[in-house]
């Protein structure tokens, strides 16, 4: 028989682990103690913790990427404006050169 735990229970267990980890001599001791409070095995809690940490790392990378993309889009717009100004200036000076002759 397989026990299933709701996402809320998993999140509470992981959060409790994070909050109380420093109160135990080892990570495993914290895992064993907290797992018993939620009625799951220490290995199950360890798996939840690893998944949470992996998801957190992925979200951090995604946020960094999104920020980088926004910066590149701003830079791109600025360069497009500068190119347009240079094109107009080149056309103006070319016309002035033609008018001078």
Which domains does the chain possess? 7-100 (1.10.10.10)
**pTM of the predicted model, to two decimals?**
0.58
Cβ 34 vs Cβ 17: under 8 Å: yes
- Looking at residues 70-78, what average pLDDT do you find? 94
- pLDDT confidence of residue 60: 77
Q: Which tens digit of pLDDT belongs to each residue from 7-32?
A: 999 999 999 999 999 999 999 999 99
How far is residue 44 CA from its own chain's centroid?
25
Q: Which residues contact 39 (CB under 8 A, 6 or more apart)?
A: 3
Q: Which tens digit of pLDDT belongs to each residue from 45-60?
A: 999 999 998 888 777 7
Sign of torsion, CA 75 76 80 83? positive
Q: Which tens digit of pLDDT belongs to each residue from 79-98?
A: 999 999 999 999 999 998 88
Is residue 2 over pLDDT 70?
no
- pLDDT confidence of residue 1: 44
- pLDDT confidence of residue 101: 66
């Amino acid at each position: 028989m397989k026990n299933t735990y709701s996402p809320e229970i998993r999140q509470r267990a992981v959060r409790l682990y994070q909050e109380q980890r420093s109160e135990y001599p080892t990570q495993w001791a914290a895992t064993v103690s907290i797992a018993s409070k939620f009625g799951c095995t220490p290995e199950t809690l360890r798996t939840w913790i690893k998944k949470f940490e992996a998801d957190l790392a992925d979200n951090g990378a995604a946020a960094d990427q999104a920020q980088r993309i926004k910066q590149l889009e701003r830079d791109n717009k600025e360069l497009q404006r500068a190119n347009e100004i240079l094109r107009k200036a080149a056309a103006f000076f070319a016309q002035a050169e033609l008018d001078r002759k």
